[in-house]
């Protein structure tokens, strides 16, 4: 008994290598939210006064707000005073070796083809540098620094590039934006900061590899990406493997600023724990993602594959302010068992000649509910602006729901907005045909669903696309009997 | 079959009957019931009107509705496809100009198997008018062989008008075929150019194209006198 | 010892409608059988029941295939056992290319047979060689399964799938139906290329010219009212050509 306790303490002290120097008790703020807790978080991160003030202002505003309930999602009330808003990574309870990890989880990694060296990190194994990618990451970082690209955690950025952070933080998603964004502004834990200087084309996809280790960002993640004039970056968030996380509430913010002639591609694969077959547990994912195409000819493209979380509430958006700027949204959302997803996009056309394209593919199985919710707004100044949206839903089984709720508003007679949507099921004929050729019912469904999603999958970076195809199959397991 | 009080109009079409109804003065509420195997063709002129129409269709019933909505107003059309094999077709033209504010809401519920709904909504706004369309197709749990479709097309004719559209599909069953489409924009520039190249002046070309656009719905009216009267009213009301 | 394929007193219905009413048939390996009969006699039903189409409910009788109880197997188990159906109206599967689809199908069969999956390079080689035989271009192989194919193209693709998957029991359901004269000429190419001592064919068709010139069957069976009412050779085709099915109605 005594020995075991000792090893736990050892494991805890391991985390101190990453910069925690005080004892365990003071690493965790008390449960609940108050100005003191926020000051504590800010102090822990050694933040400048303006940032502390930013958090406090957000917190005071949050107190006046009510949780939104317009989404087609149902859940028990969240007790915001029953959540830890700051705590050290929970390595003490984490498995210590890959062999200690739940075999079911390992089986899933296998199906997804996750490289061996990544599995430990994903499973939350409390070992430092289980793999080489720390050094890989360092090499990458050096290469990026040569080009003047900043790629670091947002906490680091606050210390190293305070002017940039101060100028852009909250400039696209103000803390007043919505309840969850406001909460995030008050308590955000960590996240990613990217700055691409003028005229620089980021030589590599900023991707998963980094994230596995650079990231213990926690449940209130905040990302800020700035692409200066004539620059380009492709950013990949998340990975296909299910990630172990004990926090139920996630409220993240992603803010993107795209300047003149710059382009940002943001791809997400979201596969947080969706809860069990009976709908118990799972992550509540309330995310605010928005990009501002500030400059002329700016381009922002969101691609997402959403298969995880018990609840998803997420609308990656583009504010098309610069003339001739372009917004894109390509989405696959799969829900199974008792998952609920209410996701879509907003395209706000302000500038002349702005264009946007929306392609959304929703797949519902089991007892899940899957909603596409969108807004396309053509402002008075959106001269000759164009939007086209295509939303298709596929139903698997008779106990799930698929809903399509696009909103369109046009106040400019030269602008055009077009939306098309279909809802259908996998036909018995398609299933029979595939099975007659020898495919199992599950293989058939996954093949047909991947075909249905093809237009979106093609938009993913190559390596991601292959993983995402496998993910479709894994997500729909058990959906046909 | 019609009972008209100031507040409420009640229309009952008995089993297997076939009727046509023209409604030009709307009360606040219209309640229509189409019996088993019965068929009703219903033309309504809603001029600056506020009205809630509820329709119930029994098995095998067929209901064809053409609504012309002009001016400031608030219209709601709710259809309950309650009996197996019921077919509901609802087409609407709306037009608003000056400072008019027009809102149209439709709500179709497929409460029985093998029911079919078809909606075509075409609209135009001019002046400083604001028009909105919100249309829902709801398919409850366990319903089979449902076919629903809804199309909305609208034109903005001036710099200061605004049109908002919220088509909604809410589907809780898998044996369905559903589609909706919505488009808001302006007249086709190529067509305008073509007409002007043939010698029409711009305002004439615009008027022709706009009325052609809206008349796609009104063309469904089988009474010729009524149709040309309503077409003329539409053109006049929208200030063409 | 039962035959390679032994169908005994098979009854089946679709919905409430009884279509097969005690059908029996013995089939050996390496034989080419033609099924003829008026519309609704049960030819397509028999084919789909053998493949396990869930639309049909078997109400009686038995089917033994290679010594196993066929009716106890799932659709895909039967397919992996070597049963292949060339569909009369192949369904469209948007977004899935023909190449991907055939690779999945082939590897499902290989797995079932305990073989390793075929790698992409070997598969493409195999596919291209066989595609040539059916005059199928590489561009066609990149298109989604049956989407936007003409009637003739669909039939060629069914033939190609048969050639790639190498089943040993092939059912061809009206391969020639709805095709123009030129397309009919190649519809039988699959049988011509693949016939051999290891492979059995069931060919359903009304087109006697097509059967005589391209299929050249060993046996002909006449179905009426959900039963086999006559068994014989090509002389039965001659009779049907002359007199239609009138004699067989009486026998039924």
Dist. CA A260–CA B175, nearest whole Å: 48
**Does C85 reach chain A within 8 Å, measured CB to CB?**
yes
Say how far apart CA A462 and CA A132 lie, in whole Å: 23
As a whole number of angstroms, the distance between CA A15 and CA A20 comes to 7
Show which residues on chain A lie within 8 Å of chain C, measured between beta carbons: 427-430, 432-441, 443, 447-448, 450-455
Same domain, A156 and A259: yes
Nearest to C91 among A429, A443, A447 (CB): A429
Is the CB of residue C100 less than 8 Å away from at least one CB of chain A?
yes
Phi and psi torsions of A393, nearest 5°: -120, 145
Give the containing element (helix H, strand E) for A117: helix A116-122
Task: Give the CA distances from residue A352 to residues A248, B219, C86, in Å, rounded to whole numbers and listed in that order.
Answer: 42, 37, 55
- For residue A125, pLDDT beyond 70: no
Radius of gyration in angstroms for the set of CA atoms belonging to chain B, rounded to a whole number: 18
Residue ranges with strand state E in chain C: 5-14, 17-27, 32-36, 56-65, 68-69, 83-86, 93-97, 144-145, 169-173, 200-204, 219-224, 227-232
pLDDT band at C44 (very low <50, low <70, confident <90, very high): very high
What pLDDT is stored for residue A120 in this prediction? 59
* Smallest CA–CA distance from A366 into chain B, residue: B174
By Cβ distance, the residue of A395, A404, A418 closest to B174 is A395
Cβ of C108 and A450 within 8 Å? no
Give the number of domains in chain B: 1
Specify whether A349 is located in the same domain as A262: no
The residues near A37 (Cβ < 8 Å, ≥ 6 apart) are: A29, A30, A85, A86, A187
Which tens digits make up the pLDDT trace of C9-19?
Answer: 999 999 899 99
Model confidence at A98, pLDDT cuts 50, 70, 90, reads low
Q: Say yes or no: C87 contacts chain A, CB-CB below 8 A.
A: yes
User: How does A119-132 read in b/e, with b if 16+ C-beta sit within 10 Å?
Assistant: bbbbbbbbbeebbe
With contact defined as beta carbons under 8 Å apart, do B204 and B173 qualify?
no
Residues A38 and A91 in one domain: yes
List chain C residues with CB under 8 Å of A451.
93-96, 144-145
Of all helices (H) and strands (E), which one includes residue B146? strand B146-156
Percent of chain B exceeding pLDDT 70 equals 97
Find residue A377's DSSP bridge partners.
A348, A409
Instruction: Quote the CA–CA distance of A447 and C76 in Å, as a whole number.
Output: 15
Residue A402 shares a structural domain with residue A477 = yes
Q: Tokens 């905040």: give the residue.
A: A222
CB A450 within 8 A of CB A470: no
Q: Is A323 a domain residue?
A: no
Q: How far is CA B209 from the centre of its chain?
A: 20
Q: Read off the tokens for A172.
A: 């696209």
Structure confidence at residue A102 (pLDDT):
66
| Residue A321, in any domain of the structure | no
Interval B147-152 mean pLDDT:
96
**A161 shares its domain with A219:** yes
What is the H or E stretch that residue A136 is in? Answer: helix A133-146
* A104 has pLDDT over 70: no
Contacts of C53 in chain A (CB under 8 A): 432
Task: Name which of A444, A428, A437 is nearest C85 in CA terms.
Answer: A437
Per-residue pLDDT tens digits for A156-199: 899 999 999 999 999 999 999 999 999 999 999 888 899 999 99
Q: Do chains C and B touch (3 or more CB pairs under 8 A)?
A: no
Please compute, for residue A336, the number of CA atoms within 13 A of its CA located in the half-sphere on the CB side: 21
What distance in Å separates the CA atoms of residue C20 and residue C112, rounded to the nearest whole number? 31
Q: What is the pLDDT of residue A129?
A: 32
Residue A17, pLDDT score: 27
- Give the lowest-confidence range in A2-16, A224-238, B106-120, C115-129: A2-16
User: Does the pLDDT value for residue A10 go beyond 90?
Assistant: no
Residues A164, A32 share a domain: yes
A351 vs A22, residue with greater confidence: A351
Q: What is the mean pLDDT of chain B?
A: 92
Architecture of domain C5-251 in CATH? 3-Layer(aba) Sandwich (3.40)
Contact assignment for C75 to A452 by CB distance below 8 Å: no
Q: How far is CA C193 from the centre of its chain?
A: 15
Q: In the prediction, which pLDDT does A138 show?
A: 56
Please check whether residues A303 and A335 belong to one and the same domain: no
Of A418, A419, A423, the CB nearest to B176: A423
Q: What integer is the mean pLDDT of A320-327?
A: 98
Are A442 and A386 in the same domain? yes
Task: Please answer yes or no on whether C91 and A450 come within 8 Å at the CB atom.
Answer: no
> Nearest residue on chain C to A451, judged by CA atoms?
C95
Place of tokens 């063709």: B41
The answer to whether C90 faces chain A, any CB pair under 8 Å, is yes
| Contact status, residue A115 vs residue A122, Cβ threshold 8 Å | no
Could you say which of A257, A290, A314 is where a domain stops? A314
Q: Which long-range contacts (CB under 8 A, 24 or more apart) does A104-112 make?
A: A105/A242, A105/A244, A108/A241, A108/A242, A108/A474, A109/A241, A111/A470, A111/A473, A111/A474, A112/A240, A112/A241, A112/A467, A112/A470, A112/A471, A112/A474
Question: Which residue is it, tokens 């397991």?
Answer: A477
Q: Is A326 helix (H, G, I), strand (E, B) or coil?
A: strand
Confidence of residue C190 (pLDDT cuts 50, 70, 90): confident
Contact B159 A413 (CB under 8 A): yes
> Cβ of C118 under 8 Å from any chain A Cβ?
no
Check whether B42 has a pLDDT greater than 50: yes
What residues in A contact C86, CB-CB < 8 Å?
none
Mean pLDDT over A141-168 rounds to 89
Q: Do A286 and A340 fall within a single domain?
A: no
pLDDT score at C187: 81
* pLDDT of the residue at A118: 59
**Cα distances (Å, whole numbers) of residue B35 to B19, B87, C49:** 11, 12, 42
Is B219 a domain residue? no
Tell me if B60 is assigned to some domain: yes
- Domain interval for residue B42: 2-186
| Chain C residues with beta carbon closer than 8 angstroms to that of A435 | 52, 74-76, 79
C partners (3+ CB pairs within 8 A) are A
Q: Backbone phi, then psi, for B152, in 5-degree steps?
A: -125, 130
**What does A343-377 look like in DSSP terms, one character per residue?**
EEEEEEE-STT-EEEEEEEEEEETT-EEEEEEEEE
Residue A174: closest CA among A328, A352, A295, A319: A319
Report how many domains make up chain A: 2
Tally of CB atoms within 10 A around A279: 16
Q: Are residues A354 and A260 in the same domain?
A: no
pLDDT at A132 over 50: no
Residues of C whose CB is below 8 A from A450: 95-96
A398 found inside a domain: yes
Instruction: Give yes or no for C105 touching A (CB within 8 A).
Output: yes
The least confident of A37-46, A82-91, B64-73 is A82-91
First-to-last C-alpha distance (Å) of chain B: 38
At residue A126, the pLDDT reads 38
Which range among A143-147, A240-244, A324-328, C53-57 has the greatest average pLDDT?
A: A324-328
pLDDT at A137: 54
Task: Nearest chain A residue to C167 by CA: give it.
Answer: A437
**Is the CA virtual torsion B15, B19, B22, B25 positive or negative?**
negative
DSSP lists the bridge partners of residue B170 as A403, B138
User: Token pair of B153, please?
Assistant: 């097309």
Interchain proximity C104–A443, CB inside 8 Å = yes
Cα–Cα separations (whole angstroms), residue A60 to A182, A187, B94, C214: 9, 12, 46, 84
> Taking 70 as the threshold, does the pLDDT of residue A93 lie above it?
no
Confidence of residue B239 (pLDDT cuts 50, 70, 90): confident
Residue B215 maps to a domain: no
Partners of residue B18 on adjacent β-strands: B39
Q: pLDDT tens digit string along A189-216?
A: 888 899 999 999 998 888 744 444 334 4
Query: In angstroms, how far apart are the furthest CA atoms of chain B?
Result: 58
Mutant choice from A332, A436, A443, A470 vs C, greatest count of C C-beta within 10 A: A436
Q: How large is the angle between the packed helices A179-187 and A49-63, nearest 10 degrees?
A: 150
State the Cα–Cα distance between residues A234 and C210, nearest whole angstrom.
58
Using one digit for the tens of pLDDT, what is the confidence trace for C204-227?
A: 998 898 999 889 999 999 999 999
Q: How many residues does chain A have?
A: 481
Q: In the structure encoding, which two tokens stand for residue B37, read together?
A: 């195997």
Q: Give pLDDT, residue B190.
A: 83
* Minimal CA separation from C14 to chain A, in Å: 15
For residue A448, which residues of chain C lie inside 8 Å, CB to CB? 93, 96
- pLDDT tens figures, B1-34: 555 557 899 999 999 999 999 999 899 999 999 9
Q: What pLDDT was estimated at residue A115?
A: 60
- The widest CA-to-CA distance across chain A, in whole angstroms, is 77
Q: How far apart are the first and last CA of chain C?
A: 29
Are residues A16 and A97 part of one domain? yes
Whether the CB-CB separation of B94 and B121 falls below 8 Å is answered with yes
pLDDT of A61 > 70? The answer is yes
pLDDT, position A108: 67
- The chain A residues in contact with chain B (CB within 8 A) are 378, 380, 393, 395-425
- Residue C33 pLDDT > 90: yes
Distance from CA of B105 to the nearest CA of A (A): 14
Nearest CA in chain A to C161: A437
Q: How confident is the model at residue A363 (pLDDT cuts 50, 70, 90)?
A: very high
Q: Please report, for chain B, how many H helices and E strands are present, in that order.
A: 3, 15
Q: For residue A1, what pLDDT is reported?
A: 34
Of C80, C96, C108, the CB nearest to A451: C96
C156-187 tens-digit pLDDT: 999 999 999 999 999 999 888 878 877 787 78
Residue with tokens 């190449």: C99
pLDDT at site A101: 65
Residue C165, chain A, CB below 8 Å: the answer is yes
- Expressed as residue numbers, the domain containing A274 is 1-314
Name the 3-class secondary structure at C10: strand
Query: Which chains would you list as touching B if contact means 3+ CB atom pairs under 8 Å?
Result: A
pLDDT at A260: 98
Q: Over the stretch C86-110, which tens digit does the pLDDT of each residue have?
A: 999 899 999 999 999 999 999 999 9
Closest residue by Cα to residue A376 from A385, A365, A384, A368: A385
Residue B204, domain member (yes or no):
no
| CA separation for the pair A208, A112 (Å, rounded) | 15
Q: What is the pLDDT of residue A476?
A: 86
DSSP state of C114: T
| pLDDT classification of A243: cutoffs 50, 70, 90 | low
Q: Has residue A30 got a pLDDT over 90?
A: no
Which residues in chain B touch residue A398, judged by CB atoms under 8 angstroms apart?
141-142, 173-175
Tell me which residue of A188, A309, A338 sits closest to A253, measured CA to CA. Answer: A188
Contact residues, chain A, for C142 at CB < 8 Å: none
Residues A293 and A333 in one domain: no
B102-141 per-position pLDDT tens digit: 999 999 999 999 999 999 999 999 999 999 999 999 999 9
pLDDT score of A239 more than 70: no
pLDDT of B180 > 70? The answer is yes
Please give the Cα distance from C79 to C84 (Å, whole number).
Answer: 6
Residue A133 confidence (pLDDT) above 80: no
Structure tokens at B103: 């809102």
Closest approach of chain A CAs to the CA of B16, in angstroms?
33
């Amino acid at each position: 008994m005594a020995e075991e306790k000792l090893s736990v303490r050892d494991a805890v002290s391991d985390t101190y290598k990453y910069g925690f120097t005080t004892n365990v008790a003071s690493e965790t703020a008390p449960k609940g939210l108050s100005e003191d807790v926020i000051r504590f978080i800010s102090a822990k991160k050694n933040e400048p006064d303006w940032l502390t003030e930013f958090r406090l202002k957000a917190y005071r505003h949050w107190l006046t707000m009510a949780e939104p309930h317009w989404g087609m999602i149902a859940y028990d009330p969240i007790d915001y005073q029953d959540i830890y808003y700051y705590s050290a990574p929970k390595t003490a309870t984490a498995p210590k070796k890959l062999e200690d990890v739940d075999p079911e989880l390992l089986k899933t990694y296998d199906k997804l083809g996750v490289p061996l060296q990544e599995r430990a990190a994903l499973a939350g194994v409390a070992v430092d540098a289980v793999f080489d990618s720390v050094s890989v990451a360092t090499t990458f970082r050096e290469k990026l620094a040569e080009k003047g690209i900043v790629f670091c955690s947002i906490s680091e950025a606050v210390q190293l590039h305070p002017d940039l952070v101060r100028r852009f933080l909250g400039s696209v998603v103000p803390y007043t934006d919505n309840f969850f964004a406001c909460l995030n502004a008050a308590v955000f834990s960590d996240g990613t900061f990217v700055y691409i200087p003028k005229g620089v084309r980021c030589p590599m996809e900023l991707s998963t590899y980094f994230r596995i280790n650079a990231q213990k960002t926690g449940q209130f993640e905040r990302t800020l990406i700035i692409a200066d004039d004539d620059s380009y970056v492709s950013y990949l968030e998340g990975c296909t493997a299910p990630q172990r996380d004990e926090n139920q509430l996630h409220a993240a913010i992603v803010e993107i600023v795209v300047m003149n002639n710059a382009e940002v591609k943001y791809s997400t694969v979201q596969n947080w724990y969706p809860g069990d077959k009976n709908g118990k547990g799972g992550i509540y994912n309330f995310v605010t993602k928005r990009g501002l195409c500030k400059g002329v000819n700016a381009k922002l493209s969101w691609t997402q594959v959403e298969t995880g979380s018990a609840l998803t509430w997420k609308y990656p958006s583009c504010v098309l302010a610069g003339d001739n700027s372009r917004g894109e949204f390509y989405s696959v959302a799969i829900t199974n068992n008792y998952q609920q997803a209410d996701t879509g996009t907003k395209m706000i056309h302000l500038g002349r000649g702005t264009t946007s394209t929306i392609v959304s593919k929703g797949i519902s199985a089991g007892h899940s509910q899957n909603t596409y919710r969108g807004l396309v707004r053509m402002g008075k100044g959106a001269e000759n602006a164009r939007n086209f949206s295509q939303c298709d839903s596929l139903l698997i089984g008779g106990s799930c729901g698929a809903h399509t709720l696009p909103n369109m508003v046009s106040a400019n007679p030269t602008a055009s907005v077009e939306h098309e949507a279909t809802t259908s099921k996998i036909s018995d004929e398609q299933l029979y045909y595939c099975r007659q050729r020898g495919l199992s019912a599950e293989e058939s469904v996954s093949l047909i669903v991947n075909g249905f999603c093809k237009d979106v999958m093609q938009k993913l970076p190559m390596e991601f696309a292959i993983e995402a195809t496998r993910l479709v199959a894994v997500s729909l397991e058990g959906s046909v009997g | 079959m019609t009972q008209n009080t100031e507040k409420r109009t009640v229309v009952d079409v008995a089993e297997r009957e076939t009727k046509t109804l023209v409604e030009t003065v709307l009360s606040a509420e219209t309640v229509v019931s189409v019996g088993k195997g019965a068929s009703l063709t219903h033309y309504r002129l809603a001029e600056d009107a506020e009205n809630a129409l509820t329709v119930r269709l029994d098995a095998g019933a067929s209901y064809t509705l053409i609504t012309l909505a002009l001016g400031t107003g608030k219209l709601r059309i709710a259809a309950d496809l309650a009996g197996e094999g019921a077919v509901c077709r609802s087409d609407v033209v709306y037009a608003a100009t000056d400072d008019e504010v027009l809102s149209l809401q439709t709500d179709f519920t497929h409460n029985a198997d093998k029911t079919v709904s078809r909606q075509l909504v075409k609209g135009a706004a001019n002046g400083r008018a604001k028009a909105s369309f919100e249309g829902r197709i709801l398919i409850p749990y366990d319903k089979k062989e449902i076919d629903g479709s809804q199309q909305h097309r609208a034109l903005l004719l001036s710099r200061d008008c605004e049109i908002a559209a919220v088509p909604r599909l809410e589907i809780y069953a898998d044996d369905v075929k559903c589609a909706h489409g919505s488009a808001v924009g302006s007249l086709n520039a190529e067509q305008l150019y073509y007409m002007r190249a043939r010698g029409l002046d711009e305002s004439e070309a615009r008027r022709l194209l706009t009325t052609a656009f809206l008349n796609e719905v009104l063309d469904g009216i089988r009474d010729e006198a009524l149709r040309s009267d309503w077409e003329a009213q539409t053109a006049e009301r929208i200030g063409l | 010892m039962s035959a390679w394929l032994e169908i005994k007193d098979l009854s089946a219905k679709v919905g409430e409608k009884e279509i097969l009413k005690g059908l029996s048939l013995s089939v050996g390996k390496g034989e080419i059988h033609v099924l003829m009969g008026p519309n609704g006699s049960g030819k397509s039903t028999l084919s789909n029941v053998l493949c396990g189409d869930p639309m049909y409910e078997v109400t009686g009788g038995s089917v033994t295939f290679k010594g196993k109880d066929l009716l106890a197997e799932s659709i895909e188990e039967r397919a992996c056992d070597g049963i292949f159906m060339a569909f009369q109206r192949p369904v469209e599967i948007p977004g899935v290319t023909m190449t991907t689809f055939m690779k999945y199908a082939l590897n499902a069969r290989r797995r079932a047979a305990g073989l390793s999956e075929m790698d992409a390079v070997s598969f493409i080689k195999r596919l291209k060689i066989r595609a040539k035989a059916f005059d199928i271009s590489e561009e066609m192989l990149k298109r989604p399964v049956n989407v936007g194919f003409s009637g003739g193209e669909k039939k060629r693709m069914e033939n190609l799938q048969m050639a790639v998957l190498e089943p040993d029991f092939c059912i061809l359901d009206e391969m020639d139906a709805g095709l123009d004269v030129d397309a009919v000429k190649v519809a039988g190419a699959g049988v011509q290329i693949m016939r051999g001592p290891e492979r059995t064919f069931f060919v359903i068709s009304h087109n006697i010219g097509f059967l005589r010139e391209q299929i050249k069957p060993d046996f002909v069976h006449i179905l009426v009212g959900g039963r086999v009412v006559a068994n014989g050779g090509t002389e039965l085709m001659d009779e049907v050509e002359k007199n239609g099915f009138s004699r067989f109605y009486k026998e039924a």
